[in-house]
């Protein structure tokens, strides 16, 4: 998680992932998935489309405005 910490902060403040902490690419993305509709709990995946490195964060509150559309690419390296 430590490598992706700045990216988590960036998503929180600007809604964008920022540079990949592994390869430096700005071709990054994320998606939140809501598991419990009543309380908005779910998980988030953050990834780099170039080097395919990724981070998964579970048991989080998916707040309004967080990205929930799109697909998580296959063959990511967590």
Tens-place pLDDT, residues 8-48: 999 999 999 999 999 999 999 999 999 999 999 999 999 99
Element (DSSP H or E) covering residue 8: helix 5-14
Q: Could you give all domains of the chain from N- to C-terminal order, each with its CATH number? A: 2-61 (2.20.25)
Predicted confidence at residue 2, as pLDDT, reads 87
Predicted confidence at residue 1, as pLDDT, reads 64
Residues 6+ apart with CB under 8 A from 68: 31, 32, 33, 34, 62
How many Å apart are CA 42 and CA 74, to the nearest integer? 20
How many Å apart are CA 26 and CA 18, to the nearest integer? 6
Give the global pTM: 0.91
Burial group, residue 63, by CB count within 10 angstroms (0-12, 13-18, 19+): exposed
């Amino acid at each position: 998680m430590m490598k992706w910490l700045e990216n988590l902060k960036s998503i929180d403040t600007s809604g964008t992932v920022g540079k990949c902490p592994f390869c430096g690419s700005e071709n990054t993305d994320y998606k939140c998935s809501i598991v419990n509709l009543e309380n908005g709990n779910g998980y988030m995946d953050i990834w780099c489309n170039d080097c395919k490195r990724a981070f998964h964060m579970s048991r989080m509150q998916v707040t309004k405005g967080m990205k929930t559309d799109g697909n998580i690419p296959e063959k990511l390296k967590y």
